[in-house]
Structure 1
């Protein structure tokens, strides 16, 4: 039975990845920072097979202890402060967790593996936010990185540190440069879930308007369940590498609104949407669209859920939650 160790297991990707690994017969160990995490009860209820270990990405010794307990074949580092807007409010903490946390995870893995450096295969969750002020369209593995947020800068550090450990120590370490990926498990602070929840409430007469930021921002949105499959495929390759994971399609926030409201029979959605300058980023990322050719050709990966299907899935899930 293969064994996997997952940080950020209480997040969206941790949930879908754990489900995938369990379905493949893995023994899954999840790292949680303290026993007071409000999502632990949900994790235990939804995925009781997951074995919970305590530790902190900012504490290398705790990671080494957790790895000793889990004895994993694969380490998926999904843990981060992942809300871009918050990274401006607390750039220091974002850097400690999202940047230095990767270094701590890599170093703990190296120490745990000892002389057998290939003992543990390592996955780092990189991000399309690293491209920031995009230098070419679409963005691929060779595109120059130009992050435009403290979060993006932190992710760049983790990305290059993963490459450095691969090249310096021969570690089987891969980075997945994942473009925006959503699901009904997405946190309510993210724009896609903020919209799906608002649309559901408006459709049920529980809310009249939703306040948003830049409606012209363009993103490459896919389904999180598809993207965790790509993570797993990376660690099944003979050597570590970097892969862009994306749909190759770009959609404005306006398009997301259009599909979401039309799904519940509301065509004149403009009267339900307000733009608030408070939700605009200090430095906007205007256009993200990925080129996942390498992932398709090397990993045999491709997305299975279309943009309209993804939006409908999220709206329907929030409608069901509210009606329940």
Structure 2
């Protein structure tokens, strides 16, 4: 039986990854800053809360990281922790940099210090690339981040690459493009769209207020993406991979797909407000996930429209159960 430590298990990706690893027979430790106080609602939602052994770990604290590694003795460590909102990173740039960059460094250094053959996965982000225009970013595309979040993720990426080369750690980064699910918090735009649209379908008279709806992204399904994380750590040689569907859509396309599921005309319910625009933003994001397909035999199983349908179905079921 393999043992895995998931830092950030209470988030969307952490919960789906825990579910995947449990199905594969792993013993799973779920790391959270305060495991005794955390509700782990995502794990509860997936029905796996009792199967995951929760541990308290602050990845900003090297001693906490080291003690956790010595106690849990993991074969694999997945770093999914840290501040996860691009928008919030403009308001909390220091917290964002520390939780992502310093946290990743602490994990790498602790793994090196322990000396066990631990395999390490780091959650990268397409935000590292910035705006590449119509060019589909791959693993050799230069980084030009346009947010504090992107800067922090870029720093963490290079830390992983440095420890892999300097100390021969089995350390990989997944450069993940946008991936969604019903476990997304409502501060993320896709969940805000789905939740508001479903309330409108249930009779609410509200309008959906958003920022720039002309931005374009590559949107995938989170459960597909955690499989790619696992596959990276099963390779004999560690490496970095772009994980995406390879198809890009405007935000208004996601809005339309969501409202179409509910037989509503989206244009009757949307307000675009400049107050929600970010100081800098990526106009369009395109991805080339061919390396993952060739080396990991991985490709996304769900389209953007299917993601919208799945999220709407889950949200409507939740709203109806509350009546």
TM superposition score normalised by structure 2: 0.96
1:221 aligns with 2:200: no
Indicate how the Cα distance of structure 1 residues 107 and 18 shifts in structure 2: closer, same or farther if over 3 A, else same: same
2:83 matches 1:85: no
Question: Unmatched 5+ residue regions in structure 2?
Answer: none
Matched, 1:56 2:58: yes
Q: Are 2:238 and 1:240 aligned?
A: yes
Aligned Cα RMSD in Å? Answer: 1.3
1:159 is aligned to 2:157: yes
1:38 and 1:238 mapped to 2: Cα distance? Answer: 36
Per the alignment, residue 209 of structure 2 pairs with 211
Runs of 4 or more, structure 1, over 2 Å off, are 35-46
Partner-residue secondary structure (3-state), 2:29? strand
Task: Render the CA deviation track for 1:224-246: whole Å, top value 9, x for unaligned.
Answer: 00000000000000011000000
* Aligned residue number for residue 189 of structure 2: 191
Q: Distance in 2 between matches of 1:81 and 1:261?
A: 30
Q: Which residue of the partner structure matches residue 128 of structure 2?
A: 130
Once residues 276 and 321 of structure 1 are traced to their aligned partners in structure 2, the CA distance between those partners, rounded to angstroms, is: 29
1:302 matches 2:304: no
| Map of 1:314 onto structure 2 | 311
Cα distance, 1:184 vs structure 2: 0.7
Give the paired residue count: 319
- Quick one: structure 1 residues 135 and 273, their matched pair in 2 at CA, closer, same or farther if it must change by over 3 Å? closer
Normalization by structure 1: what TM-score? Answer: 0.96
Number of the residue aligned with 2:18 = 18
C-alpha distance in 1, partners of 2:127/2:136? 13
> Matches of 1:57 and 1:273 in 2, distance apart?
40
Residue 95 of structure 1 is matched in structure 2 by 97
1:124 alignment partner, SS class: strand
Question: What 5-or-longer segments of structure 1 have no aligned partner?
Answer: none
